[in-house]
Amino acid sequence: MGKFFRTIFLVDLFQGLWVTFRNQNPKNIYTEQYPAERPKVAERYRGAPRLNINPDNGETLCIACNLCALACPENLIVVGSERNEQTRRKELTTFTYDLSRCMFCGLCEDACPVDALELTQDFELASYTREGWIWDRQMLEEGPKPTPYKC
Amino acid sequence: MPETTFLDSTELVLNMGPQHPSTHGVLRVILKLDGEKVIGTECVIGYLHRGVEKIGENRTYQQFAPYVDRMDYVAAVSNGLGYCLAVEKLLNIEAPPRAQVTRVILTELNRIASHLLWLGTHALDIGAITPVFYCFREREEVLKIFENYCGARLTTHAFRVGGLQYELYDGFEQQVKAFCDMFLPKVDEYEELLTNNRIWVARLKGVGILTGDECKEFGVTGPVLRAAGVKWDLRKAQPYSGYEQYDFDVPTGENGDTYDRYIVRMQEMRQSVRIIRQAVDRIPAGPIGKTPKVIKPATGEVYVSIEAPKGELGYFVVSDNSTQPYRMRVRPPSFVNLQALDRMVRGGLVADVVAIIGTLDIVLGEVDR
């Protein structure tokens, strides 16, 4: 008899639908609406490299020691330096970072003795040209500028 | 010689892959068929060959560490652990206890992630679509822990020679514990979906039998060997990184068929959770170890193997007293396990080939290196 009523009132169907609707709860939705809703990456995320500048005087923190270039497994960092005769110190002139070969292993970041080179949380690194991947000193200091899309 | 035509011949040669979705990558299998029956196979590998071993000989010991993550990219942490242990043995140093416990936690989490990916894709090959979504949902939680810990989800580069690079982040223990509590009921959920499912049982029971002796002949390791009833787990047999301190069982099967391998892997996930729970409670304070500035081991050679999710992962490193290894040889579990494919497939049906490739749990990045 119970089975008869279950069949008549489609109890099984509604039970199944209840499972479906229960999972419509917004907290069960995992999809991120990407350009509108940006993912929050972890604090230690290894993304685009950045060459830090001293916020007080705007000078670069890099001491042109070349350790990052030596640590890099892909040899993609080229550090150009010049000896300043007045202060008798090496000063950074150019810094090239070839992102197209980078595998974001973080070894350059580990090698840096003054925390000048850092892998940041920026992850939007697409470029229309291959040359766009080779970042110079200015680009490394300013960081990537992804196009904002209105949605 | 008799004149043969297509209609006369009973044999048919069929190419499966390298772009077949259920070969899990770029494996190409040439199948020789007699109707629906497989009478012979030949694996063609090398489509993903990158020369990782040669790269290792041209990099310093520190520099090679990120590359090992790209062999078995599903279990990158295990690869890194094996490599670090090999170089540490070559240098005669040991990671401090805090680093060792952290390594165990992350490696076991990675084992769970690897088995989850295997379960999802294997079920997808058989025709069950739901488990893949469930498995990836839980795998995401593991990857989040990795991202929080070392900043990368897949190719983690989590460990360094001599210890760790990153200190544990705040809330690591809570997150791992929350994952363990959340995960065990989910394993029951997967089992509810599959274990007694009639289609699942019919497709897997008695398919691709590999006996213990055959496994030993082929050098097959990991869950495939244990499913054949051989109780061989390197974590128990030759403990490394402090595995002897943890209490866990080595699940084994009886028949060595595809179904047993499924059961063994499900049990292994539960055992991994058990290890993680014990390890999280006993993370000691102290240093996390420091990478030597220059790694220049004395002349010598070393072979270190660990129990990766897929089997015995070994590193054979020869040093000639320079900063770069003279020879770097990797013994990948997938590559060795793949040898047994022909024995398992022969005499079976074409549809079973898909199930057997799935159950071997190969990653082509590791097969080809």
- B16: in domain: no
Q: What's the start-to-end Cα distance of chain B, in Å? A: 43
Residue A44 CB-density burial (10 A; 0-12 exposed, 13-18 middle, 19+ buried):
middle
Number of domains in chain B: 1
What is the bridge-based pairing of β-strands B37-44 and B28-34?
Answer: antiparallel
- B287: in domain: yes
* Chain B positions in Cβ-Cβ contact with residue A110 (cut-off 8 Å): 165
CA distance A146 to chain B (A): 21
Phi, psi dihedrals of residue B319, rounded to the nearest 5°: -110, 140
Secondary structure letter of residue B77 according to DSSP: H
Tell me which chain A residue has its CA closest to the CA of residue B55: A73
B147/A41 CB distance under 8 A: yes
* Chain B positions in Cβ-Cβ contact with residue A106 (cut-off 8 Å): 151, 157, 165
Question: What's at B229, amino acid-wise?
Answer: G
pLDDT at residue B5, rounded to an integer: 52
Domain that holds residue B186: 51-338+349-368
B363 with B310: CB under 8 angstroms? yes
- B240: in domain: yes
pLDDT at A1 over 80: no
CA distance A107 to chain B (A): 8
Distance CA B265, CA B263 (A): 5
Which one, of B52, B80, B73, B243, lies nearest residue B162 by Cα?
A: B80
- B28: in domain: no
Residue B99 half-sphere exposure toward CB, CA atoms < 13 A: 23
CA distance B55 to chain A (A): 10
Decide if A72 touches B, using CB distance below 8 A. yes
Top residue of A31, A40, A46 to mutate, by most chain B CBs within 10 Å, is A46
How many DSSP H helices and E strands does chain A contain?
A: 5, 5
CA distance A147 to chain B (A): 24
CA distance A63 to chain B (A): 19
CA distance A30 to chain B (A): 9
* Chain A positions in Cβ-Cβ contact with residue B155 (cut-off 8 Å): 103, 105
Decide if A131 touches B, using CB distance below 8 A. no
Top residue of B60, B157, B192 to mutate, by most chain A CBs within 10 Å, is B157
Decide if A126 touches B, using CB distance below 8 A. no
Secondary structure letter of residue B331 according to DSSP: E
pLDDT at A54 over 50: yes
- B232: in domain: yes
Q: Would you give per-residue pLDDT tens digits along chain B (369 residues)?
A: 445 555 556 788 888 878 877 777 788 888 888 888 888 888 888 888 888 889 988 888 888 989 998 888 888 899 999 999 999 998 888 888 888 899 999 999 999 999 999 999 998 888 888 889 889 988 988 999 999 998 888 888 888 888 888 888 888 889 999 999 999 998 998 888 888 888 889 888 888 888 888 888 888 988 999 988 888 888 888 888 888 888 888 888 888 888 999 999 999 999 999 999 999 988 888 888 887 778 888 888 999 999 989 989 999 999 988 888 999 899 999 999 888 888 888 888 888 888 888 888 888 888 888
Secondary structure letter of residue B354 according to DSSP: H
B67/A73 CB distance under 8 A: yes
Distance CA B174, CA B189 (A): 23
CA distance A70 to chain B (A): 10
pLDDT at A21 over 80: yes
Which one, of B368, B308, B351, lies nearest residue B36 by Cα?
A: B351
B120 with B132: CB under 8 angstroms? yes
Distance CA A127, CA A147 (A): 11
The mean-pLDDT minimum among A11-20, A85-94, B249-258, B304-313 falls in A85-94
- B153: in domain: yes
Out of A43, A46, A72, the one facing B152 most closely (by C-beta) is A46
pLDDT at A63 over 70: yes
Tell me which chain B residue has its CA closest to the CA of residue A72: B63
* Chain B positions in Cβ-Cβ contact with residue A28 (cut-off 8 Å): none
B27 with B364: CB under 8 angstroms? yes
B151/A46 CB distance under 8 A: yes
Q: Which helix (H) or strand (E) holds B64?
A: helix B61-68
CATH match for A49-142 among 3.40.190.10, 3.40.50.10480, 3.30.70.3270, 3.20.20.105: 3.30.70.3270
B66/A46 CB distance under 8 A: no
Count how many residues are written for chain A: 151
Phi, psi dihedrals of residue B284, rounded to the nearest 5°: -75, 155
* Chain B positions in Cβ-Cβ contact with residue A71 (cut-off 8 Å): 62-63
Top residue of B54, B79, B150, B324 to mutate, by most chain A CBs within 10 Å, is B150
Who contacts B190 (Cβ-Cβ below 8 Å, separation ≥6)?
B119, B131, B134, B135, B266
pLDDT at residue B108, rounded to an integer: 92
A72/B152 CB distance under 8 A: no
pLDDT at residue B1, rounded to an integer: 45
Tell me which chain B residue has its CA closest to the CA of residue A42: B148
Evaluate the CA torsion angle B59, B310, B81, B110 in order and state its sign: positive
Decide if A114 touches B, using CB distance below 8 A. no
Write down the ipTM of this complex: 0.79
Count how many residues are written for chain B: 369
pLDDT at A74 over 80: yes
pLDDT at residue B273, rounded to an integer: 92
* Chain A positions in Cβ-Cβ contact with residue B149 (cut-off 8 Å): 44
Q: What's the start-to-end Cα distance of chain A, in Å? A: 56
- B362: in domain: yes
Which one, of B232, B237, B234, B274, lies nearest residue B252 by Cα?
A: B232
A73/B64 CB distance under 8 A: yes
pLDDT at residue B110, rounded to an integer: 92
CB burial readout B207-233, b (16+ within 10 A) else e: bbbbebebbeebbbbbbbbbbbebebb
Distance CA B178, CA B116 (A): 18
Out of A30, A44, A105, the one facing B66 most closely (by C-beta) is A105
Tell me which chain B residue has its CA closest to the CA of residue A110: B165
Tell me which chain B residue has its CA closest to the CA of residue A45: B151
Q: ∠ at Cα B151 (A117, B143), nearest 5°?
A: 170
Tell me how crowded residue A94 is: count the other CB atoms within 10 A of its CB. Answer: 13
Q: What is the CATH number of the domain that holds B246?
A: 1.10.645.10
CA distance B85 to chain A (A): 19
